[in-house]
Chain A
């Protein structure tokens, strides 16, 4: 019926990992990793750590690791649609400068 009870140790272990990752992301923020005007590498590091933390919560605290394939598909679909929205919207803003017109957004 439902998933088996997750052992206490596992929950505490995941929690410890989450705390560590939080500390890591704060510390890293104080170093300039480069990546130009937008400090892209800092952003990538922060997003990677956030995604890792989110995965830990989703897989273990939210039991997706022990859930049906249908649940995985639902979660995946939600993430996928969010990514579509970001990517296609940014596609507009990022490509505006490619055909320069005076007074445009990215000038």
Chain B
């Protein structure tokens, strides 16, 4: 099995230490690391914004900042977290690193396009950062017209351009993944032998390809309207602001599936490994990823129930939104069934997996509340919505990202982190998260609107609780940053397969050589062959 690593061995990290070799790399593994650095920086930025928001909300009065400034904070928090952290996170870091290795390839289909996607991301990010430091934007990350196109006095065009450019980074990544998975699988690796991580990334890539261009053209139209005075959404000349919402949400709803599907892919890997069992109902989990990708495009109107959208369209979108919950539920049931009678070990990645299952379930179920037309009329634009999507995006997507980062960290760096600290941080994060966001369900139900820097005094206790939770949550994020960084220099060297997991990535050294495998592997087994592992068989 795994043996002691050979330090002088050449691998993708030590083959060349120059800055040039990093900035001009076409190695998917290095590009994954470049993205890790970028998205981490934006996570900190978005987190600071969140901290400022929660600080203001400690008191019912607007005593920290003015309303317009508060509007800029939540806008920038949303834009940063969604476009510059969550959407790239797992695909651009873990996906870039692992997709070729998991399918036995030497690299992605288009390595130079992969590097281009990082530069495009960086360019878009630069535009957005400039927009932020030269005055910011206050339209909300949703850029609704006619405020964004006509009436706002903030850096809308610059931000819109930044998001537009970054969208192409997403498109290029999706394109690369789709072609790679179709065309570069190792001999014997049929579709139904693929790790579910790959299925998840394939489905995500489809959404990236089909949805992102629509928000791109929509944002471009807003920028044109604002910059050149060309009326498109302007009611004065017969334009319809709701058309913007249709085109915007056509992408932005599937975008949330871009954020959660990769995390679900991570989940399948974690649950199988730390239960030492095949994933229950593999075909159903794979199929549900595809179902989510398709159905996810049919539900966008549930963001527009009170926008003046026709009631009949609302009914259709509501029904379809109920349907899209089914494949997600299938996954949760199947992971649970995988754990049943499995041999569970509670290492850090598995703690994140448990966190995911619980928190995603709550987030998903509250989504059904929102999909119910009659309920949504009351909770739309309240903190109920805010709590719902944070349960999914933080409780779901980020837990999956952290769990995956901890699981594949030894493969990426060749080092182990101290698991005790990992578990402590995971628990702190879980506690902090719930303390931050559960009160927000209550606040929303009681009627506290979102995007307001002031609120009725009777809501203060819950808001204080939420802010206190945010401090604990912040600690939960800081700890991994510290011990993971520490582990790069002082961590115990990891072997090829410290977890005893199945999957091609564990059959190459940690860290892997530049071209991943000495020889192209040939696959003869199904995925997650943990039972045959028990009997001493090997791939």
Q: Which residue numbers of A lie inside 8 Å of B, CB to CB?
A: 70, 77-78, 81, 84-85, 88-89, 91-93, 95-96, 98-99, 104-105
Taking CB atoms, residues of chain A closer than 8 Å to B300 are 88
Taking CB atoms, residues of chain A closer than 8 Å to B250 are 85, 89
B312 engages A99 (CB within 8 Å): yes
Name the residue among A78, A84, A95, A99 with the largest chain B CB count within 10 angstroms: A95
Instruction: Say whether, besides A96-B310, A99-B312, A89 and B240 are in contact (CB < 8 Å).
Output: no
A92 engages B309 (CB within 8 Å): yes
Tell me how many residues of B have a C-beta within 8 Å of chain A.
22
Q: Which residue numbers of B lie inside 8 Å of A, CB to CB?
A: 182, 206, 210, 214, 240, 242-243, 246-247, 250, 297-298, 300-301, 308-313, 316-317
Taking CB atoms, residues of chain A closer than 8 Å to B317 are 88
A81 engages B313 (CB within 8 Å): no
B308 engages A84 (CB within 8 Å): no
Closest 7 CB pairs of A and B: A92-B313, A95-B312, A95-B310, A96-B310, A81-B210, A89-B246, A91-B313
B309 engages A105 (CB within 8 Å): no
B308 engages A105 (CB within 8 Å): yes
Q: In the complex, what distance in Å separates the CA atom of A88 from the CA atom of B311? A: 13
Q: From A82, which residue of chain B is reached at the shortest CB distance?
A: B210
Number of A-B residue pairs, CB cutoff 8 Å, is: 44
Please report whether the interface of chain A is mostly helix, strand, loop or mixed according to DSSP.
helix
Q: In the complex, what distance in Å separates the CA atom of A77 from the CA atom of B240? A: 29
The smallest beta-carbon distance between A73 and chain B, in angstroms, is 10
Q: In the complex, what distance in Å separates the CA atom of A7 from the CA atom of B298? A: 43
Instruction: Say whether, besides A70-B182, A77-B210, A91-B316, A104 and B308 are in contact (CB < 8 Å).
Output: yes
Taking CB atoms, residues of chain A closer than 8 Å to B246 are 89, 92
The smallest beta-carbon distance between A61 and chain B, in angstroms, is 22
Q: In the complex, what distance in Å separates the CA atom of A77 from the CA atom of B242? A: 27
A98 engages B308 (CB within 8 Å): no
Q: In the complex, what distance in Å separates the CA atom of A96 from the CA atom of B246? A: 14
Q: In the complex, what distance in Å separates the CA atom of A81 from the CA atom of B206? A: 11
B297 engages A95 (CB within 8 Å): no
